[in-house]
Amino acid sequence: MNTGPAAKEGAVGPVAVQADRGGAETLPTLLAGLRAVNPALVLLFAEDGDELAALDAGLRGELPRDCIIAGCSSAGEIGPCGYTSGSVVAIGFPAASFRARALVLDHLSTLPVSGWMASLRQAQQDFGAGPGRSLFGLLLVDGIAGQEDTLVATIDAALPSVPTLGGTAGDGLDFRQTSLLFEGEIISGAAVFLLVETDLAVSEVSFAHFSPTETRAVVTAALPEKRRILELNAEPAAEEYARIIGIPRDRLTPTDFAQHPLLLRMGKRHHVRAISAMTEDGGLSLMSAIDTGTVLTLGRADDLTRGFAEALESLPRPPLMVLGFDCILRRLALEREGLTHAMSDLFQRYRVAGFNTYGEQHAGMHVNQTFVGLAFMPPADGTLTGHADVA
């Protein structure tokens, strides 16, 4: 069994358990780690979404009857020892310190925003709020539907007092089909939203290893519904992009896209609008929303690990665990630079667990090439309230 340090030390924080995928010992290994914390919520992440339903069935009969089990397919996992692949990572949130409620936001293709808002507000009202406890939202989204921007903006508008973070489900590096797990069933074209309450202290962690340059470009033609730029600066998009980064168009590679991202400024912050591919007609496909008239800034890659370590070191107390949503493009960049083990060491030191995504959600935004997470820490005064009494 491979479990995180929090489980070994008997802490009240979440526990991460990792098992090899598809073997006879997968389920027993996960159960051995999860039973110890009597979870109110379990999150499951694995590259093969079809396996999640079978694991749900096996776990459900052995865990508390009211335990919520949710999850999604991934582009890689983060387990107790850092980056991993070909595995299942389960994260158990102890009932002694956590309470959760789940709902599906479906029909992503038609964007029933009014219905989503009504469901979200009703869920918060029914869930109640315990005094002195932290309330937050977790979001797992279909990675192919391409509607994260509208979805996360809707959640932010419906529940403005609830900080929400999440990740877009992955499909390895295939980008063909992603899966979500909810109530024992595999679903797509939807999102799973979780309201979670805890007596632990919670802090958001976010890091993108880019800074803006002085180079800007205007989107002069786009297909917003396909997340595609047709023209930059009134020139074919791929040709102009290649010109401003100084590489011939016929030599553009995914590595160039990852090293020279396009950034969108919102307020005082820049958010990555990652390029996934060059299209046959000379356009650029993005992993986030784009529209004609948008002003983009060319990004420059910074150190991949130092800023991340500084973000974790700035937490008020050492975390019991950090739930992490880490873009697959960041992991690929780390692999290219030979820094995978260095990042895994950081993950292990700060007890990070989660999965590699096709996109990340935080602060009401859908972004790319970013790590976002929630750090769970003991309360400042060292006291724990236990379960809130909610009718």
Alpha-carbon distance 353 to 90, whole Å?
9
Residue in the structure block whose two tokens are 């996360």: 152
Classify residue 219 as exposed, middle or buried by CB count within 10 Å of its CB (0-12, 13-18, 19+).
Answer: buried
Mean pLDDT for 156-162 is 96
The pLDDT assigned to 2 comes to: 58
The pLDDT assigned to 301 comes to: 82
The pLDDT assigned to 391 comes to: 23
Partners of residue 198 on adjacent β-strands = 98, 134
The pLDDT assigned to 63 comes to: 96
Alpha-carbon distance 63 to 75, whole Å?
27
Is residue 98 scored above 90 in pLDDT?
A: yes
| Residue 3 pLDDT grade (very low, low, confident, very high; cuts 50, 70, 90) | low
The pLDDT assigned to 205 comes to: 95
Which helix H or strand E contains 377, and what residues bound it? strand 371-377
The pLDDT assigned to 84 comes to: 95
User: pLDDT, tens digit, for every residue of 208-218?
Assistant: 888 899 999 99
Mean pLDDT for 344-359 is 96
**CA distances in angstroms from 148 to 30, 172, 191, 280, 287, listed in the order given:** 30, 19, 9, 25, 10
| Residue 268 pLDDT grade (very low, low, confident, very high; cuts 50, 70, 90) | confident
Is residue 8 scored above 50 in pLDDT?
A: no
> Other C-beta atoms within 10 Å of 335: how many?
12
> Other C-beta atoms within 10 Å of 306: how many?
11
| Average pLDDT over all residues of the chain | 91
Which residues have C-beta within 8 Å of that of residue 17, sequence separation ≥ 6?
Answer: 1, 2, 3, 4, 7, 29, 30, 32, 33, 34, 80, 89, 90, 91, 92
| Residue 390 pLDDT grade (very low, low, confident, very high; cuts 50, 70, 90) | very low
| Residue 35 pLDDT grade (very low, low, confident, very high; cuts 50, 70, 90) | very high
Q: Which residue has the higher pLDDT, 258 or 4?
A: 258
Is residue 90 scored above 60 in pLDDT?
A: yes
Q: Which range has the top average pLDDT, 25-34, 129-138, 168-177, 255-264? A: 25-34
Alpha-carbon distance 131 to 121, whole Å?
19
> Other C-beta atoms within 10 Å of 74: how many?
31
| Residue 384 pLDDT grade (very low, low, confident, very high; cuts 50, 70, 90) | low
* Residue 321 · residue 17 · CB < 8 Å: no
| Residue 336 pLDDT grade (very low, low, confident, very high; cuts 50, 70, 90) | confident
- Rg (Cα) of the chain, in Å, rounded? 20
